[in-house]
Amino acid sequence: MAKHIIIVGGGFAGVNLIKSLKNDSRFRVTLVDKNNYHFFPPLIYQVATSFIQASNISYPFRKLIADDNNVHFHMGSLVKVNPENKTIETDTGTLYYDYLVLALGTESNFFGMENVQKCSLPMKNIEEALYLRNHMLLTLEEAARNKDIRIAQRLQNIVIAGGGPTGVELAGMIAEMGKYIAEKEYPEMKLSLSNIYLIDALPTLLSPMSKMAQKTAYDKLQKLGVKIILNVSVKDYTDNKVVLSDGKFIETETLIWTCGVIGREVPGLPEESIVKGRRISVDAFNKVSHTNDIYAVGDICLQLTDEKFPKGHPQLAQVAIQQANNLGTNFKRMERSEKHNSFKYNDKGSMAIISKFNAVVDLPKFSFNGFLAWLTWLFIHVIPLVSFRSKIRLALDWFRLFITNNPSIRMILYPKRNTKNE
């Protein structure tokens, strides 16, 4: 009988594992996800800033697997893992597995700050990105009609917590949107009251990247008018005030949270399997420690067996893709009773876009920036999209938008069920 492999999570790791196992009659694969679509997280900030449509970076699972004879989709949220009887419970049913692969990824880490968690605006999924887009557009409309200078400034101030690639890319995008759009479309606003703050507790932006990348990001964002505050962290967010660790505060109604992530909770796993950052401890073959037939791949796992990464791999898409491909190969080797391949990460570098025509790229042997880096960033971020149609549509949209500097999807939409009484 075909071995039943359940994959929980349809991100980079889950989708690439499916690709490696599809149409293999030795396996029956079930993908479990709370959403019915795959999306591309590195471009989610462009959805949040009204630059591209959510459909440009998302694709339905059922369409993705329509031609895969051995792959099925189960829509539901993971409730609990039961290792003793090899089942998982979801909010839509219970499933039996021969092998379980956890690829749930991460969620925003608010470091125990309840007010920040309640009132800030994270950006980890499509729903949060669309909510942030609506929030910023509504705030602009309110600022445009407000005559009180103090309130208008509070409405126009934007604070971004987190100076990693997402925070840097978001700050640059918002700054440019303000430059090209706000001046033309919001003549009622006093733009001198507008401020974009980028805050990070570390001494540099883009801390994992090269010094060239860090300096380039700092200089370019400053030229765009972004106020960069380093060596300072957010401690609270109350009464529309972002409270900082140095005792100062910033009045704003928009605190965007890109500060850090924590692994998604997986009830039912042994406590010994959960380590720092709520990540799941795995061995060289991505098998979860203290379990049998349970594996974890992608951002949610922590693997300490790779000699080049003794503290664990970075939580990047390339790690997830490579781990999934290696695990898929190992499942096939299991069926042939062959030795498994241990995972070794091939670091292909990192990059971040700062503004139009400006990006930074760190490759294993050298780094570069400017227009060529920007083109490289565009190319690298089109290739992983799961459908040819999405690649072409996004490339054409980018071409048009970077020329006109004026995306036309800035509609404030309120999803609501229609009733006969409305």
Claim to verify: residue 250 and residue 123 sit in the same structural domain: yes
Residue 120 three-state SS: coil
Claim to verify: residue 34 and residue 22 sit in the same structural domain: yes
Q: pLDDT tier at 386 (50, 70, 90 boundaries)? A: low
Task: Among 10-24, 95-109, 379-393, name the one with the lowest average pLDDT.
Answer: 379-393
Residue 263 vs residue 187, higher pLDDT: 263
Q: What is the pLDDT of residues 169-193, one digit of tens each?
A: 999 999 988 877 887 888 888 877 7
Buried b (16+ CB within 10 A) or exposed e, 310-344: eebbebbbbbbbbbbbbbbebbeeeeeeeebeebe
Claim to verify: residue 37 and residue 69 sit in the same structural domain: yes
Q: Report whether 410 contacts 138 (CB < 8 A).
A: no
Give CA angle at 48 (361, 110), nearest 5°. 85
**Within a domain: 410:** no
**What integer is the mean pLDDT of 247-275?**
96
Claim to verify: residue 125 and residue 82 sit in the same structural domain: no
Claim to verify: residue 361 and residue 215 sit in the same structural domain: yes
**What integer is the mean pLDDT of 33-62?**
91
**Within a domain: 150:** yes
**Within a domain: 119:** yes
Give the residue carrying structure tokens 């005030």: 241
User: Which pLDDT score, from 0 to 100, does residue 415 have?
Assistant: 63
Q: What is the number of structural domains in the chain? A: 2
Claim to verify: residue 179 and residue 219 sit in the same structural domain: yes
- Share the mean pLDDT of the chain: 92
Claim to verify: residue 185 and residue 36 sit in the same structural domain: no
User: Which pLDDT score, from 0 to 100, does residue 336 have?
Assistant: 93
Q: Which stretch of DSSP H or E encloses residue 75?
A: strand 71-75
Give CA angle at 168 (234, 316), nearest 5°. 95
Would the pLDDT of 421 be above 50? no
Residue 42 vs residue 407, higher pLDDT: 42
Claim to verify: residue 274 and residue 252 sit in the same structural domain: no
* C-alpha neighbours within 13 Å on the C-beta side of residue 421: 0
Q: What is the pLDDT of residues 71-103, one digit of tens each?
A: 999 999 999 999 999 999 999 999 999 999 999
Would the pLDDT of 422 be above 60? no
Claim to verify: residue 131 and residue 209 sit in the same structural domain: yes
C-alpha to C-alpha distance for 100 and 97, rounded to whole angstroms: 6
Q: What is the pLDDT of residues 204-227, one digit of tens each?
A: 999 989 999 999 999 999 999 999
Q: Which of 335, 367, 395 is the last residue of a domain?
A: 335
**CA dihedral for 11, 89, 130, 58, sign (positive or negative):** positive
Claim to verify: residue 123 and residue 233 sit in the same structural domain: yes
User: Which pLDDT score, from 0 to 100, does residue 311 have?
Assistant: 94
**Within a domain: 343:** no
Q: What is the pLDDT of residues 279-306, one digit of tens each?
A: 999 999 999 999 999 999 999 999 999 9
Give the residue carrying structure tokens 């990464």: 309
CATH of the domain at 129: 3.50.50.100
Candidates 278, 236, 275, 230; CA nearest to 257 is 236
Strands in 267-345 per DSSP E: 280-282, 294-296, 301-303
Task: Among 4-13, 70-79, 352-361, name the one with the lowest average pLDDT.
Answer: 352-361
Tell me the three-class secondary structure of 126-144, residue by residue: HHHHHHHHHHHHHHHHHHH
As a whole-number percent, the residues of the chain with pLDDT over 70 amount to: 95
- Domain residue limits at 98: 3-107+261-335
* Other C-beta atoms lying within 10 Å of the C-beta of residue 243: 18
**Within a domain: 194:** yes
Task: Among 172-181, 241-250, 386-395, name the one with the lowest average pLDDT.
Answer: 386-395
Q: What is the pLDDT of residues 328-337, one digit of tens each?
A: 999 999 999 9
Claim to verify: residue 43 and residue 95 sit in the same structural domain: yes
C-alpha to C-alpha distance for 193 and 388, rounded to whole angstroms: 43
Would the pLDDT of 150 be above 60? yes
Claim to verify: residue 152 and residue 192 sit in the same structural domain: yes
As a whole-number percent, the residues of the chain with pLDDT over 90 amount to: 76
Would the pLDDT of 122 be above 50? yes
**Within a domain: 218:** yes
**Within a domain: 345:** no
C-alpha to C-alpha distance for 261 and 298, rounded to whole angstroms: 13
Would the pLDDT of 420 be above 60? no
